[in-house]
Chain A
Amino acid sequence: MALIQTHEVKPGMVLAADVLSKDGRVLFTAGAVLEPWHVQVLKTLGVAGVEIAEIEAVVTPDQAADYTRAAFLYVNPDHPAMQTLFEIAAERVLRRATRGWVLPDVATRQARNVEHLSDVFGPGQASPEEIVQHETELASFPDLYFRLKEMLDSPKSSAKRIADLISGDVGLSAKLLRLVNSPIYAPVSPVDSVARAVTLIGTNELATLALGITAINYFQDIPPELIDMPTFWRHSLTCAVLAMILARRQGLPPERFFTAGLLHDVGRLLLFKKLPYASTEAMIHARENFLPLFEAERILLEFDHTDVSKVLLAEWKFPEAMAQAINFHHDPMCAADPQSGATLHLADIMANAVGIADGGMYAVPDLDPAAWDELNMQPTELHSLIVEFDAQFEKTLAAFL
């Protein structure tokens, strides 16, 4: 605890004791994180000084900005959207740091002992085709997935048939109901049956969500020690929620984008399974060279996770519109529908930016300026988008776990 003169008080500092006004009323309570307006009030009221908590390794706004900037070294710093995303990301980093988060140093960022891992294929021995083939020959994809797919394809599928199919799987229907009751839909009254969920959000829409959940569940068995799976799932779901919010603003079908967001890194999941050591080497290479992970994959493996998803999703006969968005989220303007590609592209970049304050350690991929133009947005809209995201995300994550 230290007495700090008011003119030296900075936003981000934490009060160690209540601040009293001249007549003895409590102005601010101990523990408050000072924001600029607090400082202004202190100055206006002529308070001489305040007790500030001495947190070990206090992170200054400059340090938070530098830490965040290091994750933005791959992007065009002059693009207004990236400037806005940087502000959003730095704000989150500083906010978390004032609550006691210690910014990871270089050693922590690179430390990972994966020496026990073995790859299925030797160096340079596997193409995306061989990797996918190795998987599809070994394990069969859930039957439920193909039945959902069949119903999605058939115009004759009734709401009742789809509801019955989903209800037949206890785990899936429970998860779907939690999702439908989460803030991303925020129903007026709780939805307690799949049949009601179908009425509320639509037959195809619910089937699309079910398809995504079934597909991603296929990878639930990846051992958590292999990579940091909680971080992976958090990134995937962040991307899903952001893609859904963006899609609503773009007038695109939200469920498709939620599902595409959830599965956008599905190629990476298969890479973890087949080439765990090489994937980890790519992660380390990305971190130490300030590269986005997909660039590090291209350098070390000569292909990236979207090359794997192209083959995998084709093998699964995954609905083409979603597959396109997933496969081209790093090259959005090459997607058959650039608007869809751009939507997922931006959602992924935003998820990376938001993830920095969650301990994400990879460089944010650069924004394709043509994709940004395609979306017809103003940079300031990104702020309101994030507000919406924050209101929905944590509870949606809870629904998913």
Chain B
Amino acid sequence: MTLFSSSMTLRAATPISDAEFKELRDFIYQRSGIWVDEKRKYLFENRFHKRLATLGLKSFDEYVKLLKFDPRSAEEMKTLWEIITTNETSFFRDIKQLESFQKVILGEVLAEQRKKGKLELNIWSAGCSSGEEPYTLAMLISESLGLELPKWKVLISAVDLSPAMIAKAKEATYGDYAFKTTTEEQKKKFFVPEGANFKVKPELARMVSFQQMNLNDDAAVRRVPKSQIVFCRNVIIYFDDAMRTKVARAFYDNLLSGGYLLLGHSETLHKISTAFRPKFIPGAMAYRKD
């Protein structure tokens, strides 16, 4: 006895041939460094199925051709990044890492800058998604600097592959979901209510500058201002080893000496780069450029 009036099939999408899958996968890899495993072929079929229908395309082959040769390509790339990237994040995510970062790393970097008499701080947030991470960093910095804050020039360069995420980040307005790892106290301190949502206080938002960027784009990466700190959390898990090595080098080149790289909770530079000196901080690992 079934509740379904007609039979339904598990397959809902046009099949992608092995050759088409490889072509699309390689195209995505060349452009973004994101490596899509063969095992995710069916997910791919499903995700792109609707897109193909919207564009009135009959096969994945036509889609790849559009991406490669069509004048609409640049526009379509924006949608492509939407489809292949995920954006799980929230304010104060991985608080143990952030607390030790604030206490140990940020403390050390700020002290160093004061000693040099250069009240400047540059941070690069690579893979900032909808902005929760760079804004969280702005909040931690304002907490650490306290009354000193107006004397400092703080710049957080936040970049992400997805233009839609960057647009959302610039809005600086968030619903409940972004606050699942935030205390009421933090919410009161750093946000102003706006209807049912909350907006990052303007003096904090001012520290962050957003830009769409592909970490595989060497020229763009080189234009990021030299930083004392780089945050790149939950990004390199989507890369293969070659691309991980490449971005690790880019972060190294971007960092000023004595600067630190911080990765996501389960990510390491193990097997990727030996250029950095790993430094244990409670709940996390930081990588120092000596």
Q: Which A residues are within 8 Å of any B CB, using their own CB?
A: 10-12, 33, 35-37, 39, 61, 65, 69, 72-78, 82-83, 86-87, 90-91, 94-95, 98, 107, 110-113, 115, 118, 122-124, 277-278, 281-282, 284-285, 288-291, 295, 299-301, 366
Contacts and interface: CB of A to CB of B under 8 A. Distances in A.
Contact of A299 (B11, B237, B280): B237
A90 to B, nearest CB: 7
B268 A123 contact: yes
Interface stretch (B36-44, B59-67, B140-148): B36-44
B2 interface: yes
Contacts of A76: 42
A71 to B, nearest CB: 11
Contacts of A11: 2-5
Given A73-B46, A77-B42, A124 B3 contact: no
Contact of B11 (A77, A123, A290): A77
28 contacts: A11-B4, A11-B5, A33-B3, A35-B1, A35-B3, A37-B1, A61-B4, A74-B40, A74-B43, A76-B42, A77-B12, A77-B42, A83-B9, A83-B10, A83-B11, A90-B4, A91-B3, A91-B4, A94-B4, A98-B3, A107-B176, A111-B180, A112-B180, A122-B285, A123-B268, A124-B266, A124-B285, A278-B265
B10 A69 contact: yes
Contacts of B54: none
A96 to B, nearest CB: 10
B3 A95 contact: yes
A123 B12 contact: no
A95 B1 CA distance: 11
Given A72-B10, A74-B42, 9 more contacts: A69-B10, A83-B9, A87-B8, A112-B180, A113-B181, A115-B92, A118-B283, A278-B266, A288-B86
B267 interface: yes
Contact of A90 (B8, B46, B180, B283): B8
Given A77-B11, A115-B94, A36 B2 contact: yes
B185 interface: no
Interface of chain B, helix or strand or loop or mixed? loop
Contacts, number: 115
B86 A115 contact: no
Contacts of A295: 39
A86 B42 CA distance: 15
Interface string B1-36: 111110111111101000000000000000000000
B265 A65 contact: no
A77 B10 contact: yes
B249 to A, nearest CB: 19
Nearest to B99: A115
B177 interface: yes
Nearest to A95: B3
Contact of B8 (A65, A78, A124, A301): A65
Nearest to A84: B10
User: Which of A76, A77, A282, A295 neighbours the largest number of chain B CB atoms within 10 Å of its CB?
Assistant: A77
Given A115-B95, A123-B267, A75 B5 contact: no
A95 B2 CA distance: 9
Interface string B84-116: 001010001111100000000000000000000
A289 B4 contact: no
Contacts of B5: 10-11, 36, 39, 61
Contacts of B151: none
Nearest to A89: B10
Contacts of B13: 77
A285 B237 contact: yes
B86 A111 contact: no
B261 interface: no
Contacts of A91: 2-4
A368 to B, nearest CB: 12
A90 B5 CA distance: 13
Given A74-B43, A115-B181, A86 B1 contact: no
B96 A107 contact: no
B15 to A, nearest CB: 8
Given A98-B3, A278-B266, A111 B177 contact: yes
B157 to A, nearest CB: 25
Contacts of B72: none
User: Which of A36, A83, A98, A124 is most buried by chain B, counting CB atoms within 10 A of its CB?
Assistant: A124
A36 B1 CA distance: 9
A300 B236 CA distance: 10
B270 interface: yes
Nearest to B175: A107
Contact of A122 (B9, B43, B86, B280): B280
Contacts of A124: 266, 268, 270, 285
Contacts of B265: 123, 277-278, 281
A65 B12 CA distance: 10
A12 B23 CA distance: 43
Query: 10 closest pairs, A vs B, by CB?
Result: A124-B268, A77-B11, A86-B10, A300-B266, A77-B10, A73-B43, A115-B95, A288-B88, A288-B86, A107-B177
Contacts of B284: 122-123
Contacts of B285: 122-124
Contacts of B266: 123-124, 278, 281-282, 300-301
A291 B176 CA distance: 25
A146 to B, nearest CB: 35
A90 B88 CA distance: 27
